Structures are given as C-alpha cells and as structure tokens.
Amino acid sequence: MAKVRWQRTPISNPLRELADELRKLGKSPTAQALRKLAADLKKSPKLPAWLATTDSDKLEKLVEQWNQRWQEGQKQAEEATKSRKLLIDDANSGRALAREIARELNKSNAGSTGPAAANLTTEPVTTKAWATAEVTKMKRNKEISDDIGRNALAKLLEERNHTAAEKNKLLHRVGWKHLANELSNWGLWPVTAVKI
C-alpha cells in the first residue's frame, strides 16, 4: 500500500506583511505589539490609537488588506484540514474494505486447497504469538528436544518465520538474533517451560 504524504498549502503570513509595511511607514512595532495588533484587528478592524498618523488612510487600507488575507488564510487552513480528514477517511475505508474482502475469501475458500486457500488472515499476527504457536507445535510434534540451544532454536524459528511470512504478508520477517534475544521474554526459553 502506498504511503500518503501530506503537502501543506502555502499560507501567506499577513502579520509579517503588515509589519513590513508598518516599517516602511516609519513605525517599528515589537513582536508583542504586532501580536496584540493582530488580536485587536481580529476583534475590530479599526486602527488602534498608537497607529494614528497622517497616513491613516494608507494604514486603514493596509489593515483592511490584512483582514482579508487573514480570513483567506483561515479558509485555506480549514480547507487543508478538511482535505486531510478526507484522505484519512479514504485510507481507513480502504483498509476496512480490504479486511472485508479477506474475510469473504476466507469464507469462500474454507474447504478448498491450493494457493488460493493459503493462510488468509484479516489482522496482523504478532511475532510473539506466531513464535509461541510455532514452538508449541514443534514441541508437540517432537521436532525439538528439551535440551536444544537458544541460538539453534532461534535459527529454526527464523527459517520457519521467513516461510510463513511469504504466505502471510501480515507477519513480519525477523532474524534469528532478534528471536534469540526475545525467547526468554516470551516464555519460550528454556523449552522445558513451554506447555503443550
């Protein structure tokens, strides 16, 4: 399945543009004053007293443009959020559809044999669960003895894991070193501790 990458919609920064224009007019507000200005302008489009100058008409146009750009930025952000939610919903519905198809295939292939009836599962299989079932099966069939070494057991499990991962794409392939390190954590080492 291809990964979906998000692309951010470029949204202009009207506050930075307003600050640049104010600097051109000889005003040099601090960042804190600009944030306060932006908050005040969101509430009311009137110019604050500290900006009253002879060029107040020019500033009012500038503030009006800033308000328009801010509203456009808000709309773009909302549209980006909506499209992101739609992509997530599409991905989730695709996964649900794939699970449903796999369930139907399992039902229709319940009595058949061959590659079509290969181990079709709808949920991922954890390596721990797979290894526990595999060691239990090997012990029950007397394929391994109780005195088998940890690395030897891990190498046997690795071979079986790679074969099983070919059939079941939801099972992760793991190496023998990982398996050897985890055997005691999973309660599979020593083999005498495994209950049949």
Highest-pLDDT range among 6-10, 32-36, 166-170: 166-170
Domain boundaries, the chain: 14-107, 127-193
pLDDT band of residue 153 (cuts 50, 70, 90) is: very high
154 versus 65: the higher-pLDDT residue is 154
pLDDT at 9: 45
Is the torsion defined by CA of 36, 39, 42, 44 positive or negative?
A: negative
pLDDT at 31: 65
pLDDT band of residue 151 (cuts 50, 70, 90) is: very high
pLDDT band of residue 181 (cuts 50, 70, 90) is: very high
Q: What angle do CA 14, 19, 23 make, to 5 degrees?
A: 150
Cβ proximity of 10 and 79 under 8 Å: no
